[in-house]
Structure 1
Amino acid sequence: MNTAPGQSEDRALQADCESCFGLCCAALPFVASADFAINKDAGTPCRNLRTDFRCGIHTRLRQSGFSGCTVYDCFGAGQKVSQVTFGGKDWRQAPETAQEMFAVFPVVRQLHELLRYLTEALTLRPARSLHGEIRRLLDETGRLTELGPDALGKLDVAAHRQDVNVLLLRTSELVRAGAGQAGRGKKDRRGADLMGARLRGADLRGASLRGAYLIAADLTGADLRLADLIGADLRDADLSGADLTGCIFLTQPQLNAARGDAATRLPPALTRPAHWS
């Protein structure tokens, strides 16, 4: 997997805004809500985007009503599209590239998200029997990110996501089997509507919370060890004192969207958000 100039492979899946042409601020739409102060159409630069592609209110996004920006992560797709797919040619200097660049960015972002999950899957020892298949799909996904703009625009990314998801599900099952009998009857909560749910102190060890709606849920002191949290919506969920060690497929944006405290136990690869108490 190639990286942008000067970028190590270790950082290829982390956003590098200094090497990006403000793509998340221009390509993506948002709607006025608790997350965004204004409406913005796809392909229209945000009013806060400066001429140097930096955010004019970056240090006060939450106070300015743009908390949604603080929980977004392109997983390195921004710099990949800017510096590799379009060779460092930005959409302001070359406006003829803007429409194609904005269309390609969400595709590459999906592929980079898959790379992030597959990379984590390779570190999970209970799933080592699948590591060969995981490596194959990791390499294939990496190759797809190297396609040119035209090929990326025609890519059936949904079909590729499905292939990856099947493997990630098998990985999840092997990892969560380590929870044994813990949480039996609670384990499959895929896509569950748990908005505002009272789960204080809940034993959710080994639970599948894939795609679950946990918006504003009370997970204070909950045991989420070995839980699968891929795609779970944790906006405003209270993770104070919760144990997330060993949980799988949790991302930094999910944590950033939640609330927690100094007693929240996190996987070693993730950091405690600055806005937590």
Structure 2
Amino acid sequence: MRPLPLVSDCGNCFGLCCVALAFSASSDFAVDKPIGTPCANLQQDFRCGIHNRLRDKGFSGCTVYDCFGAGQKVSQSTFDGEDWRGSAETARRMFEVFPIMRQLHELLWYLTEALARPATKPMHAELSAMLATTTALTDDNADALAKLDVAAHRAEVNTLLVRASEFVRAGFKSRNRRGADLIGAKLRGTDLRGANLRGAYLIGADLRDADLRSADVIGADLRDANVAGAKLAESLFLTQTQVNAARGDARTTIPDSLARPNHWRS
């Protein structure tokens, strides 16, 4: 299991994703909402008024999103429990810091995953050092976080993650589909063990009963991909957002660190 701080804890957050982020009316969201404007469904206690009916009400995008625990980190640590309703300045700073913290927590997720793989042992020292550095950045104050060049740090971390991926996939036949357009692809039952699917477009792809053990899926777009019966439990760098975006069933295997979405078929 991932450390608790990397798992969303909405009960200790001030609904930051429901305020700080923007969304546009689409198949994922029923209405438009600009940055800094609270969603109409956000209640005074910072809970969602239609949480159990989000998909029925046209807010499926909300059920896909995951902050990797950045919400409670900003709410309870960076701002010491002060919520954004206190002042316009507090709100501005929280909304500025939240997306940065989310990126840092996402990187912590990937680094933790890389360290958990026995195959990456030759580079555990480097991964551990980067994990410590990234963790330290999340503990900075709001001003320091706002000034952080998160893109540069992300690129530095990614260099290590690419190497870690190569270690994990070394024993498999090379299948380099990095960034590939696999939208709607017919991949049912395909052996994708050890495949490089980094950033691949798998929107609406048929991945039923596919074997994705040790496949690198970092950044892969799994929106509406049919993963019924697929082997995802040992996929590399799989996230809750990707699982939430896909369509699985009771036979789909996922890592113990991820939750099985309520909308998946039983």
TM-score range for the pair, normalised by the shorter chain length: over 0.9
Cα distance in 2 between the residues matched to 1:247 and 1:137 = 22
Cα distance in 2 between the residues matched to 1:271 and 1:149 = 31
Task: Give the structure 2 partner of residue 3 of structure 1.
Answer: none
Q: Alpha-carbon deviations, 1:75-96, whole Å to 9, x = none?
A: 1110111111111111112332
Please show how residues 38-187 of structure 1 align to structure 2 within 5 Å.
Answer: 38-179=31-172, 181=173, 184=174, 187=175
Q: TM-score, normalised by structure 2?
A: 0.96
Cα distance in 1 between the residues matched to 2:170 and 2:224 = 29
Secondary structure of the residue aligned to 2:106 is helix
Moved more, 265-274 or 100-109: 265-274
Task: Give the structure 2 partner of residue 276 of structure 1.
Answer: 264
May I ask how many residue pairs the two structures share in their alignment? 264
Secondary structure of the residue aligned to 1:12 is helix
Measured after TM superposition, the shift of residue 256 of structure 1 is: 1.1
Query: 5+ unaligned residues in a row in structure 1: which ranges?
Result: 1-8
Task: Give the structure 2 partner of residue 208 of structure 1.
Answer: 196
Letter in 1 for 2:150: V
Measured after TM superposition, the shift of residue 147 of structure 1 is: 1.1
Measured after TM superposition, the shift of residue 146 of structure 1 is: 1.0
Query: 5+ unaligned residues in a row in structure 2: which ranges?
Result: none
Measured after TM superposition, the shift of residue 269 of structure 1 is: 2.7
Letter in 2 for 1:234: L
Cα RMSD (Å): 1.2
Q: TM-score, normalised by structure 1?
A: 0.92
Task: Give the structure 1 partner of residue 244 of structure 2.
Answer: 256
Cα distance in 1 between the residues matched to 2:37 and 2:260 = 33
- Percentage of identical aligned residues: 64
Letter in 2 for 1:269: S
Secondary structure of the residue aligned to 2:127 is helix
- Runs ≥4 in structure 1, deviation > 3 angstroms? none
Measured after TM superposition, the shift of residue 21 of structure 1 is: 0.9
Cα distance in 1 between the residues matched to 2:16 and 2:22 = 11
Measured after TM superposition, the shift of residue 272 of structure 1 is: 2.5
Moved more, 137-146 or 197-206: 197-206
Q: Alpha-carbon deviations, 1:129-162, whole Å to 9, x = none?
A: 1110000000000010111111111100000000
Task: Give the structure 2 partner of residue 6 of structure 1.
Answer: none
